[in-house]
């Protein structure tokens, strides 16, 4: 069975795009592979978050993933900082990571522009820590978005360099895990592009019914088609795409026919779309609230997760130390 590792940003607040693009696939994947999911709170420290906020963010992210269906009985779910073995592996790997390659990483160069007054060494070593997350479990597959592909490639380079330098075949070279067609792209409500957190065009899993209705009713439309079967402008096409994802098929076809007959009333369509979105989101939101307020449950989940993750991590670290020549007397 493949070992799959997913790193989750602790900057939280999942939207419908995350849900249909990744989360639903994670929920399925946990039954098909040996899965590790962890919240990358060490990585978050590179931007110097307020300590209280960091903790809340980790808690929110954890609650959201659990509410969406990650199952601690099936997968190993933990917090990165509860597995400090990762930090030691990162230190060991850093001896074979060159400052030249690290400083050329796209994400590092972006960060230099974003936070010129805080170009800390943690940012420079971000890809080494990420490699340690993956290699500590000797994972073979990692689901990553486009923006993380370079980091995964660097992980393969570090792994291969380690194997070569010490003449071992120890670390597997992790490949990306691609959901292909199953990764559904949800457009935003602003007329163009993908749903995103920073784009301000998203509907979040924690949004109340009222907020969802307001956001959908404000979505961009136009004055409607003037002749039958006219091609759709992007904003309208996006609304239909979202409807196809969240609504029953007959609802989608009902409004599509209306559009093609020039009888569409966008107000009616949006009202329906909002209710169908609520039908998806409200049960998840209620689970998020329940889980978030259950500190005892959260504590159990992360302690059990850290315990399971440590079994692997301790073995890897012991073997890596030995390979590098750190041996007990
Ligand atoms: N850098 C990833 C992100 O920003 C999060 C992450 C940290 C990660 N460590 C990882 C992802 C290991 C996959 C594997 O999304």
pLDDT, tens digit, 9 for 90 and up, residues 296-327: 999 999 999 999 999 999 999 999 999 999 99
H, E, C per residue of the chain: CCEEEEEECCCCCCEHHHHHHHHHHHHHHCCCCEEEEEECHHHHHHHCCCHHHHHHHHHHHHHHHHHHCCCCCCCEEEEHHHCCHHHHHHHHHHCCCCHHHHHCCHHHHHHHHHCCCCCCHHHHCHHHHHHHHHHCCCCCEECCCHHHHHHHHHHHHHHHHHHHHHCCCCCCCCEECCCHHHCCCCECCCCCCECCCCCCCCCECCCCHHHHHHHHHCCCCCCCCCCCCCCCCHHHHHHHHHHHHHCCHHHHHHHHHHHHCCCCCHHHHHHHHHHHHHHHHHHHHHHHHHHHCCHHHHHHHHHHHHHHHHHHHHHHHHHHHHHHCCCCC
Share of the chain above pLDDT 90, in %: 92
For residue 145, give the nearest of 194, 97, 190 by alpha carbon.
Answer: 194
pLDDT band at 11 (very low <50, low <70, confident <90, very high): confident
Predicted pLDDT of residue 221: 92
Predicted pLDDT of residue 230: 86
CATH code at 3-183+294-323: 3.40.50.620
pLDDT, tens digit, 9 for 90 and up, residues 212-223: 999 999 999 998
Residues 142 and 176 sit within 8 Å (Cβ to Cβ): yes
Residues having CB closer than 6 A to ligand 1 are: 5-7, 9, 40, 43, 130, 133-134, 142, 144, 148
pLDDT, tens digit, 9 for 90 and up, residues 246-271: 999 999 999 999 999 999 999 999 99
- Ligand 1: residue whose CA is nearest its atom 8: 7
N- to C-terminal Cα separation, the chain: 36
pLDDT, tens digit, 9 for 90 and up, residues 130-147: 999 999 999 999 999 899
Would 3-183+294-323 and 209-288 be classified into the same CATH topology?
A: no
Look at residue 66 and tell me whether its pLDDT is greater than 90.
yes
Higher pLDDT, residue 11 or 108: 108
The mean pLDDT of 182-210, rounded to a whole number, is 93
- Ligand 1: residue whose CA is nearest its atom 3: 9
Active site residue 24: no
The mean pLDDT of 168-188, rounded to a whole number, is 94
Domain chopping of the chain, boundaries:
3-183+294-323, 209-288
Predicted pLDDT of residue 320: 98
Look at residue 206 and tell me whether its pLDDT is greater than 90.
yes
Residues 144 and 152 sit within 8 Å (Cβ to Cβ): yes
Look at residue 12 and tell me whether its pLDDT is greater than 80.
no
CATH code at 209-288: 1.10.240.10
pLDDT band at 199 (very low <50, low <70, confident <90, very high): confident
Active site residue 194: yes
The mean pLDDT of 274-291, rounded to a whole number, is 98
Best mutation site among 106, 108, 130 for ligand 1, i.e. most ligand atoms within 8 A of its Cβ? Answer: 130
Active site residue 111: yes
């Amino acid at each position: 069975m493949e070992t799959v590792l997913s790193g989750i940003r602790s900057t939280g607040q999942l939207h419908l795009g995350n849900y249909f693009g990744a989360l639903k696939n994670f929920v399925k994947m946990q039954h098909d592979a040996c899965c590790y999911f962890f919240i990358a709170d060490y990585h978050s420290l590179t931007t110097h978050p307020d300590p209280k906020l960091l903790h809340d963010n980790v808690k929110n992210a954890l609650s959201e993933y659990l509410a969406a269906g990650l199952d601690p009985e099936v997968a190993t779910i933990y917090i990165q900082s509860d597995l400090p073995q990762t930090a030691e592996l990162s230190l060991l790997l850093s001896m074979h990571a060159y400052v030249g390659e690290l400083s050329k990483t796209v994400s590092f160069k972006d960060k230099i522009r974003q936070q010129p007054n805080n170009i800390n060494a943690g940012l420079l070593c971000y890809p080494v820590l990420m490699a340690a997350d993956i290699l500590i479990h000797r994972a073979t597959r990692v689901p990553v978005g486009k923006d993380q592909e370079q980091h995964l490639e660097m992980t393969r380079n570090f792994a291969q360099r380690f194997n070569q330098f010490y003449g071992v075949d120890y670390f597997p070279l992790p490949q990306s895990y691609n959901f292909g067609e199953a990764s559904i792209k949800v457009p935003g409500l602003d007329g163009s592009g993908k749903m995103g957190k920073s784009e301000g065009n998203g509907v979040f899993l924690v949004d109340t019914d009222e907020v969802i209705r307001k956001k959908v009713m404000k979505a961009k439309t136009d004055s409607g088609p003037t002749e039958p079967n006219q091609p759709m402008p992007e904003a309208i096409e996006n609304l239909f795409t979202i409807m196809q994802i969240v609504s029953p098929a007959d609802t989608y076809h009902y409004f599509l026919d209306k559009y093609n007959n020039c009888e569409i009333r966008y107000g009616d369509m949006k009202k329906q779309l909002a209710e169908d979105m609520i039908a998806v989101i409200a049960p998840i939101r209620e689970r998020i609230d329940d889980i978030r307020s259950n500190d005892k449950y959260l504590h159990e989940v992360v302690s059990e997760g850290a315990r399971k993750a440590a079994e692997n991590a301790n073995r890897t670290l012991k073997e890596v130390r030995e390979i590098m020549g750190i041996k007990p007397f």
